[in-house]
Amino acid sequence: MTFRAPDEPVLSTLNLDGTRRWMRPVLQPGQFWRRRLLTAWGLIALFVGLPFLHIGGKPSILLDLPSREFTFFGVTLLPTDSVLLMLLMLAIFVSIFLLTALYGRVWCGWGCPQTVYLEFVFRPIERLIEGNRKSQERLDKQRFPLRRWLKFAVYAVLAVVVANVFLAYFVGVDDLMHWIKGPPHDHPAGFAVIAATSVLMFLDFAWFRDQMCVVACPYARLQSVLIDRKSLIVAYDSRRGEPRGKLEKTTLERKAGDCVDCGACVTTCPTGIDIRKGLQLECVGCTQCIDACDTVMDRIKRPRGLIRYTSQEEMETGKRPRILRPRVVLYPLLLLVIAGLFAFAVARRGEAEVTVLRGLGDPFSMQPDGQVANQVRVRVDQHGDEDGKYTIALEDAAGKQLPDVTLVVPENPLHVRGGQSVTTIAFVLAPASSFHGGVRRVVVKVSDGEKQTSKLPFSLFGPAGGAAP
């Protein structure tokens, strides 16, 4: 079978023959790069510091997936808070839509951990060990260059550190420290999670790199619908730059447009694109091409800004676009509605949430004394920081006690610590003759005697004819 190479690159990270095109961007330390450097190190300090920061005795952020409990700045959302969680996720998505509509891919270029760690931690180490672009390309042609292995060794150590910081958001600093300090055989699952995350981090920053932005990230794929002609983008001013042409070195005279076709904006691009071809999905808005071109413009004594932050509309008309437009009004309105719903849901949530579920296994069992036993699971999610003490009782629909029914609970009243959930299994014993059609309806009352009382209807099952066969 023969394969025909495509006429033009399919992806900026692939050569025409389908092999990987490794990006070796030239660093352009201009004004935007210095601002990004400061921002990046501020963010790295934040990424590393947040899991250690405690608010009201709780981690500032803890995404406990196994327990489905999510803590944000002192507030814990429990599995029963799915509406709040959904609203929170919705608010995050709408905020991202708004940010993108206004400022394009500012998140990708300035705030995303992938960019921050790759461009301000891993790539500087690469340049330190392997040298500049030319030196790195020379190493690409060698079989086992020592400097590359040294780089991978440093990357491996860093990947373990970054992986541990990442995991701290999911397991908490205390558990993570426990995993790190103890021997692996004491906590094989924890060790496996750390090892797997470290390997993934290493592969991402040593091998996958720019492909995360170019082919994998769903946010990048959504750009074409999230931005419009008025959104802020990094763009090349073709009206000013074209026709491009080489500079007369002796006189610095320009007979054509301002672009001297030096290629500096291309060799610095971490995703390997040429911004002069127009807006492309691969552009992460890193501003390196702005810094590169500004340096060239300074050298040839032309005004800066041939490549600059602008919008498609401004590029075409020369006029600054109006910020206000339907989506920029609609998104904040949506955010307001979500905030209102969120506040309403929080106000209605009360001190605790009580859930009553049927026990696992057989729906009922017959006791030697002829009583029918039902298993009931009672779960209490304590929302506030205060501990709660809940008494579980049974009554009928009119609120009267049930003298013929016995409730057996291992702990009654039930103690629930603030922000935690407790599930207890109760047994309900009722005479077989009290069932009609195999069912007896009762109400499970869970009360702390003061602020919180939940009354939940529950159907006990029993023999259909009133007595076991």
The Cα-based distances of 41 to 45, 121, 334 in angstroms read: 6, 9, 33
Shortest distance in whole angstroms from residue 261 CB to ligand SF4: 5
Alpha carbon of residue 263 to chain centroid: 36
Residue 18 carries which DSSP code?
A: S
Tell me whether residue 16 or residue 300 sits nearer to ligand SF4 (CB atom). Answer: 300
Shortest distance in whole angstroms from residue 34 CB to ligand SF4: 16
Binding-site size, ligand SF4 (CB under 6 A): 29
- Tally of CB atoms within 10 A around 443: 19
Tell me whether residue 40 or residue 259 sits nearer to ligand SF4 (CB atom). Answer: 259
SS3 state at 372: strand
Residue 275 carries which DSSP code?
A: G
Per-residue binding letters, 79-118, with ligand SF4 (x by CB under 6 A): ----------------------------------------
Residue 79 carries which DSSP code?
A: G
> Would you call 107 exposed, middle or buried from its count of C-beta atoms within 10 A (0-12, 13-18, 19+)?
middle
Look up tokens 């890193």; give the residue.
286
Shortest distance in whole angstroms from residue 121 CB to ligand SF4: 18
- Of 444, 380, 344, 454, the C-alpha closest to 78 is 380
- Per CB under 6 A, contacts with ligand SF4 among 173-202 are none
Shortest distance in whole angstroms from residue 132 CB to ligand SF4: 17
Alpha carbon of residue 308 to chain centroid: 30
Count each helix (H run) and each strand (E run) in the chain, helices first.
Answer: 17, 16
Residue 241 carries which DSSP code?
A: H
Tell me whether residue 241 or residue 462 sits nearer to ligand SF4 (CB atom). Answer: 241
Shortest distance in whole angstroms from residue 28 CB to ligand SF4: 9
Select the residue interacting with ligand SF4 from 287, 311, 421, 454 (CB under 6 A). Answer: 287
Tell me whether residue 160 or residue 284 sits nearer to ligand SF4 (CB atom). Answer: 284
d(CA 217, CA 13): 14
- Per CB under 6 A, contacts with ligand SF4 among 404-423 are none
> Would you call 104 exposed, middle or buried from its count of C-beta atoms within 10 A (0-12, 13-18, 19+)?
buried
- Of 95, 108, 103, 320, the C-alpha closest to 233 is 103
Tell me whether residue 35 or residue 138 sits nearer to ligand SF4 (CB atom). Answer: 35
Shortest distance in whole angstroms from residue 104 CB to ligand SF4: 10
Tell me whether residue 261 or residue 313 sits nearer to ligand SF4 (CB atom). Answer: 261
Q: Helix crossing, 146-171 with 188-203: angle to 10°?
A: 130
- Tally of CB atoms within 10 A around 245: 13
Q: Which residues contact 249 (CB under 8 A, 6 or more apart)?
A: none
- Per CB under 6 A, contacts with ligand SF4 among 8-37 are none
Q: Which residues contact 429 (CB under 8 A, 6 or more apart)?
A: 367, 371, 372, 373, 405, 406, 407, 408
Which tokens in the block code for residue 53? 């920061």
- Per CB under 6 A, contacts with ligand SF4 among 288-347 are 288-289, 292-293, 296, 306-307
Alpha carbon of residue 163 to chain centroid: 15
- Per CB under 6 A, contacts with ligand SF4 among 225-284 are 234, 236, 241, 259-265, 268-271, 273, 275-276, 283-284
Q: Which stretch binds ligand SF4 (CB under 6 A): 62-70, 287-295, 339-347, 357-365?
A: 287-295
- Tell me which amino acid residue 225 is: V
Shortest distance in whole angstroms from residue 423 CB to ligand SF4: 51
Shortest distance in whole angstroms from residue 225 CB to ligand SF4: 19
Computed over its alpha carbons, how large is the radius of gyration of the chain? Answer: 31
Tell me whether residue 78 or residue 290 sits nearer to ligand SF4 (CB atom). Answer: 290
d(CA 325, CA 323): 6
Tell me whether residue 37 or residue 335 sits nearer to ligand SF4 (CB atom). Answer: 37
- Tell me which amino acid residue 163 is: A
Shortest distance in whole angstroms from residue 316 CB to ligand SF4: 18
Q: Which stretch binds ligand SF4 (CB under 6 A): 50-58, 180-188, 285-293, 427-435?
A: 285-293
Shortest distance in whole angstroms from residue 239 CB to ligand SF4: 13
Tell me whether residue 158 or residue 260 sits nearer to ligand SF4 (CB atom). Answer: 260
Shortest distance in whole angstroms from residue 122 CB to ligand SF4: 17
Tell me whether residue 289 or residue 392 sits nearer to ligand SF4 (CB atom). Answer: 289
Tell me whether residue 120 or residue 170 sits nearer to ligand SF4 (CB atom). Answer: 120
Q: Which residues of the chain form contacts with ligand SF4 (CB under 6 A)?
A: 234, 236, 241, 259-265, 268-271, 273, 275-276, 283-289, 292-293, 296, 306-307
